[in-house]
Structure formats: structure tokens, C-alpha cells
Amino acid sequence: MRRLLGFLKPHGRLVFLLAVLNLLLAGLMTVAPIVTKAIVDDVIAQQQLNRLPGYLALLFGVAGVRAVAQFFFSRERERLGQLVITDIRTALYQKLLALSYGFYDNEQTGRLMSRITSDVESTRMFLAFIVIDSLNQITIIIVMLIALLQLDALLAGIAIVPTILSGIGLYILYSRWRMIHRRIHEQNAVASSVLQDSLSGIKVVKSFSQEEQEQHKYEHAVKELRRLNIEANNRWYTRYPFIGSIPRFMQLLLIAVGGYQVVAGDLSLGALVAAISFTGLMLGAANTLGSQLTALGQTSTAAVRIFEMLDEPVRIKSPERAERIGNIKGDVEFRGVNFKYPTAKANTLKNINIRVPAGTSLAVVGATGSGKSTLVHLIGRFYDPTTGTVLVDGRDVRTVNLDDLRHQIGIVAQEALLFSASIAENIALGRPDATQEEIERAAKLAQAHDFISELPEGYQSLIGERGLGLSGGQRQRIAIARAILLNPKILILDDSMSAVDAETERLLQSAIGSVMQGRTTVLIAHRMSTVQKADHIIVLRDGEVVEQGTHDELMRGGGYYQHVLELQRMTATEAIAGS
């Protein structure tokens, strides 16, 4: 809670302004009953009609001032809300940018989205409306109590006891009630996740005609949501009326007791009327406060989740005095590297010692799950080794500036992820300042220029979410062009040619062959045709290097490599045999 209020800190001035306006508004509220008292006691009781216009002018003038104050109050409150939401969103987004791959391995897009959209929105509501408004209502209650005290101590005493009691009641009620809101939110996330799954996997849903099952799953999740919401409200509304009804009872008590006092001559009629007005205003404020508390339950859990995410440790970041590296040579070395995923039982990489001299190529071969992908991701420091060191140009990657390091590395991932933007922008992802010529040159090298030119808008064609609308091969070629454009010293190809057809692959291979010139290349591939050209080959099995050497050396080894190669040969030669 205190931390949440911390979001208001940078906007101290604005908060102060709002507090002043708030106090002004509450203070001005007391004027009307006091004027009423004067009207009752002076104008009506003593029949001094000539004083009335003056009082009315005062009433009207105060209303005018209040109107202006109200205007600024509402406007600035909204502005504060927007400033706060921007701060929180920015903090979250920066966090997202900073968090490493390890975080994303275990998080769902939908959940993260709901953090940054609905949770942030709830927090904004909480800070800008509930906090400020509740303060507003509380101020009104206090100011009214003070005004009452000025009027008559007994009446003030009658008002103060129920007010305190209802405050305590509300607090107890609220703290019990908020627990259920956490559950509601979790269930909301479940329902969204089901929805997202069915929409993203619609092709599978339809192919297996499982629409009904999906419907069932979704309805089940939404039904539970309904049940929880009803339960939460049952809890609230079966108890809240006992507290919410207190002020009017208090008002009636005031009339009864005050009535006796007036008749006894201890109190003027005007004072009683003013007291009723004061309590009436308190009543309104207390009711608003009550309904705001219901909203509070929904928002405070949201804030908790935002903090959870903001507190997520950034495991990989540039060290304090990071070494800046400009143009590197591209020498890559793994020294005694072990790696274990936090959730895994066994090490994914075991004692890896390899050196890839600048300008040479390393091919990583091995079965699925043998640790190839993990290995190549250590170079760009997307994960940190559990023990051991990864060195680039002889420097531990953990000591150099992270951005500098990654600028030197071009990665083509297994799944080509494109953004909703033009093709040109997608290719220029790592170098937004690239010229059209450079983009086209990269696209040509990646064998993507031809199909891009065929599009009606060419390089300016927009591609949709996740690059829908392009085939896997086309997307992959854009991803390759993207890496080529970077002109990196280290090129990492993570099985990048799996989704292109044979003819395109052949074209791509020669293109990549020329791109590899003068660069350190680490490639994961399954086609031996690609692998055998590498200067050095390592074979991974269960995270260990079981064989290494050049193609020729490995072919003599009679190991796994040779075995796999022969399997491939066999299928290939059979194909040839047919001709």
C-alpha cells in the first residue's frame, strides 16, 4: 500500500494541489448550511427580509467558487491518473524489455498482457479515484464533524460515535472481502487463457471438430467466474447495508434530540437545521466511501500483481562498469560451461569447452533436446551459464556492455517472428536507420527480394500479427534478411532453414555461404550438406560434447555423426537410385 502510494510521489505538486482543492471544496461545503442557519435565525425568526439578498448572494458566490474548484479538481485528478498510468506502464514495459529469456520461458503472453492492461488500469483507478476521492470523502466527514462541534457539542457527540463505528465496520468488512477478489482475478486469467488458446489454435480446433469441447472448457471457466463474483457480492451486500444505513439513523436521532433542545431553548432552530445539513453531507460522503471500498478490493490485488512483476529480478544485465566493445573480431569461447534451467532436473549443458576462432564456423549437431539451442543462446548472453564462462574476444560476456555484445550478433531463430509493420521495417528491425538500398540488398541475399517485389506494395506491404499471411518459408527468409542487414561479426543460425523448400534452401545456402565470409558463424542444422562445410563440428548428446572435429575427421570416427550422416545419405541415395 505504501509502495503503491509511492507512484504518487513524483507528482507531489499535483497531489498537493489536489489536496488543497480538496480541502477548499470541503470547507466551502460548510458555508451553505451556515448561511441556512443565518437565514433561519435572522431572516425567518426575526423577519429581517432585507438581509436575505446578501445571504443568497453569498450562497451563489460560494457555489461559483466551488464550481471553479471542482472543475480544476476533476481535471487535475484525471491528469494525475494519466501521469500515474504512464509511469506504471513505462516501468512495466521497461521491466519486460529487461527481463531475460528465462522469464519468458515460463510466462504466457496473455497473463503479461493482463498485467499491463487491466491491472494497470485498476491501479490507476485506485490511485486517481479511490485514493483521492476517499480522501475527499474523509475530509468532508472530518470538516463536517468540526463544523458540528462549533455548533453544538452534544449534537457533535451524537454524530461522532456512529461515524467511528461505521468506519471500523467498513474496514473489517473490506479486509475480509478482498481475499475473494484475488481468486476472481486468477479465474479471469484462466478464462482469458482458454480463450486465447482456442483462438490461436483455431486451426487445430476446427480440424478435429472440437468446437464443442472448447465451448465447454470456456463456459466452465466463465461459469466459475460468475460463481465467484456472485459470492463476493453476496458477502458484501448482505453485510454492508448494516453499516451504510447508520448515517440516516444518526440524522433522525439528531432531529429528535435537537428537537427537544430547541424546544427547551438550548439550541436555535437554525443551528438544528444546519446540523441536519452537515449530517446530510456526511451521509452522502459516507455512502460514497462505502461504494469506493468495494472498488478498492478489486484494485488493490491488481497492484500486488504489478509489484510482483516489477520485483521480478533482472538476472541478466550489463554490469556496473561494463566494458564497452566496439568492433570485435568475433572470437567465441566456451570454458567449462554448465547450464541448468531452473525448472529442469538435470543440467542441459555439461562441461562445454569449445573455441570458435574469429571468422570460422562451428556447426552444432545433435538430437532434439540435446542442448544445441541453449548453447547458442549463451553467446548473446540470453541466459547465463550456471557455472563456467562464455568469452567473446577473450572477454567474459558478463563483463561487457550487453547492448554492445548483442549488436555484434545476428540471430536467425527457429521460429521467424515478424511484427505488424511493413516488410521493410521488419527487415530493418535491428537497424532502423538502414536505407532502402541496404534493405533490398539484404533481402536479395536472403532470397526474399523476389517474392517481396511481387507484393502489390512491395517492401511497404504490411504484415499482420505474428506475420500471418506469409508462408513459413517466406517469414524465415525475412528473418534471415534481418540478420544479414545487421552485418554482425557473429552470426547464429538456429535451424533457420527448416521451413523453406528445397529449391529455396539451395539458393539460401549459397547466399549464406557468402554472408558467412569473414564472420564467426555458429549454426545449428540438420542437413549434413550445410553442416559439412563448417570448419568445426561438435556433436551434442544430452548436453555433452560427444564428438568433435571436421567433417572428414568425424566421418572416420564411426560415431553418432557418421551414423546420422549415413541415415541421410541412405534416403538421398535411394532418391538418386530412382533416377
Partner 1 sequence: MLRTITKRTQAVVKEGDPPPQPAGKTLKRLFAYLRPYRRWMLGTISVYMMCVIIASFYPFIDRILIDDYITVGRVGSDFLTLVIVAAILHAINFTGFGVRSLSIVRISQSLLFDLRSQLFHHVESLSFKFHESWPVGKTMSRFLSDVSTLNDFLTNQIASVFHDATSAVIVTILMFIIDPGLALIALVTLPVLFGAAVYLRPRIHKGWESVRENNTRFNIFLAENIAGMRVIQAFVREQVNFGQFRKANDTLVTSWIDVINLAVRLGPIVEVTRAAGLAAVLYAASYQIGASSKLTVGTLVAFTSYINALWGPISTFTNVYLVLQATLASAEKVFDLLDAQPSVMDRPGARELPRVNGELTLDHIHFSYDGSRQVLHDVNLHIAPGQLIALVGQTGSGKTTIASLVNRFYDVTDGRLLIDGIDVRDVTQRSLHKQIAVVLQEPFIFTDTILNNIRYGRPDATLEEAIEAAKMANCHDFIAKLPDGYETLAHERGSQFSGGQRQLLSIARAILADTPILVLDEATSAVDTQTEMLIQEALERLMKGRTSIVIAHRLSTIRKADQIVVLKDGRIVETGNHESLVSKPDGYYARLCRAQMTGEH
Count, residues near partner 1 per rule CB under 8 A: 177
Please state, in angstroms and rounded to a whole number, the distance separating the CA atoms of residues 145 and 409.
Answer: 69
* All residues at 6 or more sequence positions from 371 whose CB lies less than 8 Å from its CB, including other chains: 339, 348, 349, 540, 542, 543
- Distance in Å, CB of 53 to partner 1, minimum: 7
**Which string of b and e fits 101-126 if b means at least 16 CB within 10 Å?**
ebbeeeeeebebebbbebbbbbbbbb
What are the grid coordinates assigned to 276, written together? 441536519
Please state, in angstroms and rounded to a whole number, the distance separating the CA atoms of residues 535 and 537.
Answer: 7
Q: What is the DSSP letter of 44?
A: I
Amino acid in the structure at residue 444: K
- Distance in Å, CB of 1 to partner 1, minimum: 25
- Which residues, listed in sequence order, are joined to residue 354 by a DSSP beta bridge? 334
40 interacts with partner 1 by CB under 8 A: yes
Q: 176 to 215, contacts with partner 1 by CB under 8 A?
A: 192-211, 213-215
Among 266, 308, 323, 403, binds partner 1 (CB under 8 A): 403
222 burial (CB, 10 Å; 0-12 / 13-18 / 19+) is middle
- Distance in Å, CB of 487 to partner 1, minimum: 13
Q: 246 to 265, contacts with partner 1 by CB under 8 A?
A: 248-249, 252, 255-256, 258-260, 262-263
Among 46, 106, 514, 517, binds partner 1 (CB under 8 A): 106
Please state, in angstroms and rounded to a whole number, the distance separating the CA atoms of residues 67 and 73.
Answer: 10
Please state, in angstroms and rounded to a whole number, the distance separating the CA atoms of residues 107 and 105.
Answer: 6
Q: 490 to 519, contacts with partner 1 by CB under 8 A?
A: 495, 498-506, 509
Please state, in angstroms and rounded to a whole number, the distance separating the CA atoms of residues 268 and 430.
Answer: 80
Which of residues 179 and 567 has its CB atom nearest to partner 1 in the complex?
Answer: 567
1 interacts with partner 1 by CB under 8 A: no
Among 420, 435, 453, 550, binds partner 1 (CB under 8 A): 420
226 interacts with partner 1 by CB under 8 A: yes
Which of residues 179 and 462 has its CB atom nearest to partner 1 in the complex?
Answer: 462
- Which residues, listed in sequence order, are joined to residue 411 by a DSSP beta bridge? 492
161 interacts with partner 1 by CB under 8 A: no
Which of residues 268 and 335 has its CB atom nearest to partner 1 in the complex?
Answer: 268
Among 155, 378, 429, 484, binds partner 1 (CB under 8 A): 429
Q: 51 to 70, contacts with partner 1 by CB under 8 A?
A: 52-53, 56-57, 59-60, 62-64, 66-68, 70
269 interacts with partner 1 by CB under 8 A: yes
- Distance in Å, CB of 94 to partner 1, minimum: 7
489 interacts with partner 1 by CB under 8 A: no
Return phi, psi of residue 542, to 5°. 50, 40
